[in-house]
Amino acid sequence: MARIAIIGGGIGGLAAGCYARMNGLESVILEKASRPGGLCTSWDKGDYIFDGCIRHLAGLKPGTPLNNMWKDIGAMPSDIYFPEELVKVIDQKGNEFTVFYDLEKLETEMKRISPEDSTLIEDYINAIRRLSNTDLMEVGFWGFRDWLRNLFTLIKNRKVSKYTMISFAQRFKSPV
Ligand SMILES: Cc1cc2nc3c(=O)[nH]c(=O)nc-3n(C[C@H](O)[C@H](O)[C@H](O)COP(=O)(O)OP(=O)(O)OC[C@H]3O[C@@H](n4cnc5c(N)ncnc54)[C@H](O)[C@@H]3O)c2cc1C
């Protein structure tokens, strides 16, 4: 039997170990920390749990490669909660910004905070709508046909892909 050594027991290493075993390879995972999990882990301190783990899981849509992978490795949660909010941020001055998954709600929220940025906000929301049929989390699994099917959308979104998050944020008039 072929043997492989996997360096690191984060999600990547643990998943590689599962696939190695499923494919009949003997594998050993070498982890330098005292416990596995890597970035996706939690620990106790006093009465508290520090949970630095994943908050939102991509790959919930049945039949997608990522969903199949979660099922393969037995990591698909049985109870799935679909929250309305991706994240809520409150700055030192008490300004609140909630990032909603629902695009209409998100647009309303952004315009509430910064009506002067309405045009840019609409550009932003429209770019998300254009991309919403292309699951970028799946890119790593794409074959030639998937690239071909998504090429048009990707070319159409070239305009937004040239921005970094910081350079895009700098175009907003509102400091929030
Ligand atoms: C606060 C936070 C929130 C996140 N939220 C989300 C989320 O909501 N959704 C999402 O999808 N992702 C999220 N992520 C990202 C996700 O957790 C990581 O992408 C994922 O856990 C990375 O896994 P990995 O196996 O690639 O790497 P890592 O988790 O970094 O694992 C690498 C492992 O290798 C070990 N190692 C390194 N060098 C050596 C060596 N020389 N010898 C032996 N062992 C070694 C390390 O100790 C570590 O355990 C979040 C990350 C953080 C920090």
Ligand 1 atom 2: residue of nearest CA: 52
Residue 54 lies in a domain: no
Query: 14: which 2 tokens?
Result: 């643990």
* DSSP line for 112-129: HH-GGGHHHHHHHHHHHH
In which band, very low, low, confident or very high, does the pLDDT at 160 lie, cut at 50, 70 and 90?
confident
Radius of gyration of the chain (CA): 21
In a domain, 71, yes or no: no
Atom of ligand 1 nearest to the CA of 8: 34
Residue 170 parent element (H or E): none
DSSP letter, residue 82: -
Whether residue 176 is contained in a domain is answered as yes
- Distance (angstroms) between ligand 1 centre and the Cα of 37 equals 7
Assess if residue 18 is contained within a domain: no
What's the confidence (pLDDT) of residue 51? 85
Is the CB of 137 inside a 6 Å radius of any atom of ligand 1?
A: no
**SS3 for 9?**
coil
> Is residue 101 assigned to a domain?
yes
Range of the domain at 127: 82-176
112 lines ligand 1 (CB under 6 A): no
> Is residue 33 within 6 Å of ligand 1 at its C-beta?
yes
32-91 confidence digits (pLDDT tens): 999 899 998 888 999 999 887 777 788 888 888 888 998 999 888 777 888 899 899 999
pLDDT of residue 138: 82
140 found inside a domain: yes
Domain count, the chain: 1
Residue 165's pLDDT band (cuts 50, 70, 90) = confident
Q: What does the pLDDT look like over 113-158, one tens digit per residue?
A: 999 999 999 999 998 898 887 877 788 888 899 899 888 888 887 8
Q: Kindly state whether residue 97 falls inside one of the protein's structural domains.
A: yes
Q: What percent of the chain has pLDDT over 70?
A: 100
Cβ-defined contacts of 48-54 (< 8 Å, 24+): none
Cα of 99 vs centre of ligand 1, distance in Å, is 24
Quote the pLDDT of residue 139: 85
Reply yes or no on whether the pLDDT at 106 is more than 80: yes
Answer whether residue 59 is part of any domain: no
What residue's CA is closest to ligand 1, atom 12?
A: 54
